[in-house]
Structure 1
Amino acid sequence: MLDTLAAALERLPPAPRWLIGLSGGLDSHVLLHGLQTLSGGHAFPPLVAVHVHHGLSPHADRWQAHCESLCRDLNIPLRVLVVDARPAAGESPEAAARAARYRAIAEVMQAGEILLTAHHRRDQAETLLLQLLRGAGPAGLAAMPRLKPFGPGWQARPMLDLDRDTLADHALKAALTWVEDDSNTDPRFDRNLLRQAVMPRLRARWPALDATLSRAALLQAEAQDLLAERAREDLEQVRGSVPGTLSVAGLSGLRRPRLRNALRGWLQDKGLPMPGRARLESLIEQMLKAGSDSCPRVAWEGAEVRRYRDDLYAMKPLLPVEAGLVLHWMPVAPLRLPEPGITIDPADLRTAWELTLSDLAGPLTVRFRQGGEQIRWRGHTRSLKKLLQEAGVPPWERDRMPLIFAGERLIAVWGLQDRSGFPCHPHPYPEE
C-alpha cells in the first residue's frame, strides 16, 4: 500500500504545503498515517491536517477530539474548521455538508497548496455508477479526477488506485483506531443505498467490479479530455466581438453535438454550473433563432446566458440594482458599490473623462439610469440611451452603470470608458 501511495504522491506538482482532509474515519486515518510513515524517506512539503466540524451529528465533538488525539500522536499540526452545514430547503443534506466542507477548506488554503483526500477505488466505482444513474455524460462518468484545481491550489486523491480492503488491512496491521460516522449507514442517501444493497451483489458476481469500473472512469476521462480539446478549438473559431463572448453566427455553423460540446466548454471555462440537457437545448433554440434585435435570456441555478446582437454572454445571475438609489460622494477616496460590484476611483474617473478639478471639487452624486438622461459629448448634448447603444453596451449592463452627477449635470458614466473602440473623452464645453 505504501509503495502505491508514494508513487501517487511523487506525481503531484510542487507545493508549499499539503493539507490532509481528516474526518477521523478509517480512510482518512490511513492516509494520515501513510503520509507520516513515508515522510521520513521522502522530501514532502510541510503537512497539516484539516478537520471540518459540521455540527450535524451529536458525535461531532467526539470526532474532533479523536482527530486531535491522532495528530498529537503523529506530531502533525491540526486545523479545525467549524461550519454551518445545514441544508437549504430542497437541498440534499449530503451535498450541503460536502459543499460546506470544501468551501471552508478552500478559504484557508494558500496559493499552490494541495488538499489530499482519502478517496479510494471503491469510492470511484460508486461515483461512476451514481453518475450513470443520473444520466451523466463523459464528464460525469469520468468520476473523480486524481488531480484537479481547487480553491487557490489543487485537490489530489492519491489513493484512487487502492482498494478499500487494502486500506482496512493496513489499518489493522498498524493498530489504527478510527470513528464511524453513523450517517454512512443511512439508506436514505443514494451512495449508502448503493454501497450496502447493490455493490455487494455486483461484486459477488463480478469480483473485479471496483477495478473494472475505475478503469471505465479513466477511459471516460480520456474521452472527456478529447472533447475539451475539440471545444477549445471550436471556441477559438466562434469568438464574439466582445472578449469572453461567443458569436451566434459562428455557433450556427457547428453541428449540434459540437455546438453542445463548445457551449459546455465555454461555461466550464467561466466556472459556471452546467445546465441539464433540456435547458441546454432550450438555450440553443432561443439564442440561435432569436432576432438580432431581441435580447433573450436563459437561466438555471447559478448561471444565465444572454444575447445581444450577435454575441452570447454567460454570467452568474445578476442581482437587481436599486434604480432610485442616490449616493452622495466626496471624490477624495474610491467609492465601493457592493452591487453591481464596482469601485469608482476618482483618479481614474478624472483621467478617463478628462474632468477638471472644478468638476470634482464639490460633492457629487452617484445614481443609476431612470431614462431620459443626457450628457455633453464632443460639443453636443446627447441622449445617454443613444450613446450606450452606439458603444454596444448590452441592455442589462446599461441600468447597472453608475452615473456621476455634479449637481444635476451628468458628467461621467462609469464603465463606458472600458468599452473597446469607444473613446470616452467628452471634453467640457460651455452649456449651449
Structure 2
Amino acid sequence: MTLCARVLENLAPWRDAPAWRVGFSGGLDSTVLLHVLASLAQREAIPALSAIYIDHGLQAVAQDWPAHCQQFCARLAVPLHVQRVHVDDGPSLERAAREARYRAFDQQLAEGEALLLAQHRDDQAETLMFRLLRGAGVRGLAAMAVSRPLGAGVLLRPLLNVAQAELREYALAHRLSWIEDPSNADQQYSRNYLRHSVLPALHARWPQALGNIARAAEHLGEASQLLDELAIEDLQRAESFETAAWSAVPSLSLPVLRSLSEPRQRNALRYWLRERTTMPDTAHWASWITLRDAAPDASPVWRLAGGEIHRADERLWWLSGDWLRKPQALSQPIISGQWLALPGNGRVRVEGMLPDGAFYIGYRQGGEVLELPERGRRDLKRLLNEHRVPVFIRTRLPLLMCQGRVCAVANVENLDGCSSKLWRLVWQLPTSELGLS
C-alpha cells in the first residue's frame, strides 16, 4: 500500500470534518504529511486543507523558516497561518515550548476541525522509551494516541504506523526540500540522546526493535483504556451522594474506595484527579494511605500540586482555588429573591419573602446559637455536627442574621428557613475554581 493510500485509510473516520489543519514546522515529517495530503486533495474529496506554523522565537536561525514554509505552501496551493507564541521560562525548555505550541493549536481549531500532526512510528518508540526511563505508569507508557480531543476539535496522528525511513524515501522521491533544525542534533537534550545514540544501537542489534516498541505502546494503550473503564465503573459507585447540599464540591465515598483492592483504589483516584492536578509521584502516594487509615475523628489533608483532598464525614473532598482561602469577614444586607455575591464564596439568596427586619449575611465567629421550634436555643456547632456538615464548609457557611441573632443556616435541612417554609436561605457554592476544566 502506498503512503498516500495508508494516510487516507488512517484518516477515514474523519473524512467529514469541516477542515484538516496540518501542524507544519517545515521539517521532514510535516513536509511529507502536507505534500501527501495536498496530493490527495487533487483526486479525493477531503476536508478543506490548511497549515499552521508555530513560531517559538527561540532560535536566531529560525527567522527564515516561516518564509520557507510560506513558499512551500504556496507551491501546493495550501493556505498557511503563522502563529507567534511566547515560551515560558522553566526547568524544561522542551516542555514549555510544547505547551505553548499546543495552546496555540487549541486556540486555532474551530468546532469539529482536525489538527493533523506528523509524529510517526519512530517517534512513538522514542516516546515510550523516554517515559519508561522516567518511570511512567501504564497510561504514560501508552505514549501517543492516534486521536484525542483538542479544544473544539480533535488531534490526529495519521503517521503512527509509518517509519521515518519511509517518509525520507518519499521526500527524496518527490524531490522535496525541508528544514533541518540544528537543535535536533544537540544531545544535551534527553530525547535527542535517545534518538541519535540509544535507538540506533537498538536497531543495529535488533532491526525490528522500533516496530516492536511501537507495537508495545499500542498494547499498553489498550491496557490503559481498560484501566480507565474500570476506574469509571468504580467511581460511579463512589461518587453517589445522598444529599445535593454540597454536591458542587467533588467528593468520593471512602467506604466504597476501601472496599477495593489497593491497586484499584489508586487507579480510581488517578482517574478522578487526572483533570484536577498533576499526578503525585510514587513515593507521595503514601499520603493516600495515611489519609485513608487516619482515626475516624481525625481531619487529615492530602496536599497535591493543584489542590487538596480533605476527609470528612467518611468522604474525600477535592478543594482548590477559593476553597483553600478563608473567606473575608462579611456583614452584607440581603433582599428577598435577589442573589447576593459573596467574595470568593459563590452567592446566596432568600427564596420566598422575609419578614420585616434588617437582615444580613455573615459567617460563623464561634459561640452562635439558633432558636428551633420545640427545641429552643441550640448551640450552632452542635447542630452542624448533628447534620454532618463537613468541617471545611463550616467556616464559609452563609448565615442569615438579624440584630446579631442567627436566623437560618444556608443549605442545611431544617436550619435553612422558617418553620412555616415561607422562606429559605439557598447558597450556590463556588465552582469556577474547583479545577474541573
1:261 equivalent in structure 2: 267
* 1:24 corresponding residue in structure 2: 26
State yes or no: 1:102 paired with 2:102: yes
1:139, 1:224 within 8 Å by CA — same for their partners in 2? yes
The 8 Å contact of residues 113 and 152 in structure 1, kept in 2 or not, is answered as yes
Would the alpha carbon gap of residues 173 and 377 (structure 1) be closer, same or farther in structure 2, given more than 3 Å must change? Answer: farther
SS of residue in 2 equivalent to 1:275: coil
Q: Deviations over 1:193-238 (max 9, x none)?
A: 1111111111111112221111111111112222222222333343
Matched, 1:165 2:169: no
Q: Does 1:309 align with 2:298?
A: no
Whole-angstrom distance in 2 between the partners of 1:110 and 1:358: 54
Q: Is the 8 A contact 2:327 2:344 kept in 1?
A: no
Residue in 1 that maps onto 2:292: 288
Superposed, 1:229-268 pairs within 5 Å as 229-241=229-241, 244-268=250-274
Bigger shift: residues 328-337 or 206-215:
328-337
User: 2:119 corresponds to which residue?
Assistant: 119
Q: CA deviation at 1:84?
A: 1.8
**What pairs up with 1:304-383 in 2 under 5 angstroms?**
304-316=308-320, 320-321=324-325, 323-324=327-328, 339-340=344-345, 342=346, 344=347, 349-351=349-351, 354-356=352-354, 370-371=365-366
For residue 25 of structure 2, give the secondary structure of its aligned residue in structure 1: coil
**Structure-2 change in CA distance of 1:315 and 1:147 (3 Å):** farther
Displacement of 1:108 in angstroms is 3.3
Contact in 1 for aligned 2:407/2:417 (Cα 8 Å)? no
Q: Specify the SS of the correspondent of 1:59.
A: helix
Q: 1:72 & 1:334 partners in 2: Cα distance?
A: 56
Measure, in 2, the Cα distance between the counterparts of 1:294 and 1:240: 23
How far apart, in 1, do the equivalents of 2:101 and 2:173 lie?
30
- Answering whether residue 390 of structure 2 is matched by residue 394 of structure 1, we say yes
Tell me if the contact between 1:20 and 1:117 (Cα under 8 Å) persists in the aligned partners. yes
Output the CA distance in 2 between the equivalents of 1:75 and 1:317. 48
Query: 2:153 corresponds to which letter in structure 1?
Result: G
Structure 2 gap ranges (5+): 424-437
2:217 match = 217
Deviations 1:253-281 (A, max 9, x none): 2222222222223223x454322222223
Superposed CA deviations along residues 369-402 of structure 1, whole A, max 9, x for unmatched, are 5545667877987766556555544333444456
In structure 2, what is the Cα distance between the partners aligned to 1:95 and 1:249? Answer: 39
One-letter code aligned to 1:304: E
Q: Secondary structure at the match of 1:154?
A: strand
Find the counterpart in structure 1 of residue 54 from structure 2. Answer: 52
TM-score, normalised via structure 1 length: 0.81
The structural deviation recorded for 1:327 is 8.9
- For residues 133 and 271 of structure 1, the distance between their equivalents in structure 2, rounded to whole angstroms, comes to 25
Match of 2:309, SS?
strand
Matched to 1:286, the amino acid is T
For the residues of structure 1 that align with 2:340 and 2:70, how far apart are their CA atoms?
A: 45
Q: Give me the whole-angstrom Cα distance separating, in 1, the residues matched to 2:399 and 2:60.
A: 54
| Corresponding residue SS for 1:11 | helix
Question: Structure 1: which amino acid aligns with 2:124?
Answer: Q
Question: Which residue does the alignment assign to 1:62?
Answer: 64
Do the aligned residues in 2 keep the contact of 1:27 with 1:167 (CA within 8 Å)? yes
CA gap of 1:260–1:68, structure 2 versus 1, over 3 A, is same
Aligned CA distance change for structure 1 residues 406 and 142 (closer, same or farther; 3 Å): same
**Take 1:3 and 1:150, find their aligned partners in 2: how far apart are those partners?**
26
Larger mean Cα displacement after TM superposition, 131-140 or 146-155: 146-155
Partners of 1:304 and 1:315 within 8 A in 2: yes
Give the C-alpha shift of residue 165 in structure 1.
1.1
Structure 1 CA distance, aligned partners of 2:71 and 2:180?
A: 16
Distance 1:337 1:33 in 2: 56
Displacement after TM superposition at 1:358 (Å)? 7.4
> Equivalent residue for 1:278?
283
Query: What SS does the aligned partner of 2:60 have?
Result: coil
Residue type at the aligned position of 1:32: L
Of residues 27-36 and 92-101 in structure 1, the stretch that sits farther from structure 2 once superposed is 27-36
Change (3 A) 1:357 1:151: farther
Task: Supply the distance in 1 between the matched residues of 2:372 and 2:54 (Cα, whole angstroms).
Answer: 57
Aligned partner of 1:94: which letter?
E
Q: Is the 8 A contact 2:311 2:317 kept in 1?
A: yes
Cα deviation 1:287-329 (Å, max 9, x = unaligned): 2211233221212223432211211123546564364455978
Moved more, 105-114 or 391-400: 391-400
Structure 1, residues 241-261: CA drift from partner, whole Å, max 9, x if none?
A: 365422212222222222222
Unpaired runs of at least 5, structure 1: none
Distance in structure 2 (CA, Å) of the matches to 1:148 and 1:182: 30
Identity of aligned residues (%): 38
CA separation in 2, counterparts of 1:154 and 1:422? 48
Kindly state the Cα deviation for residue 178 of structure 1 after the two structures are TM-superposed.
Answer: 2.1
Inter-CA distance 155–325: structure 2 relative to 1 (3 Å threshold) = farther
Tell me if the contact between 1:85 and 1:100 (Cα under 8 Å) persists in the aligned partners.
yes
In 1, Cα distance between equivalents of 2:225 and 2:237: 19
User: Do the aligned partners of 1:273 and 1:303 also contact (CA within 8 Å) in 2?
Assistant: no
CA RMSD of aligned residues (A): 3.5
Aligned-partner SS, 2:14: coil
Please show how residues 80-95 of structure 1 align to structure 2 within 5 Å.
80-88=82-90, 91-95=91-95
Amino acid at match of 1:75: A
Preserved contact between residue 115 and residue 154 of structure 1 (Cα < 8 Å): yes
CA distance in 2, matches of 1:14, 1:366: 54
Number of the residue aligned with 2:181: 181
Aligned residues of 1:297 and 1:306 also touching (Cα < 8 A): yes
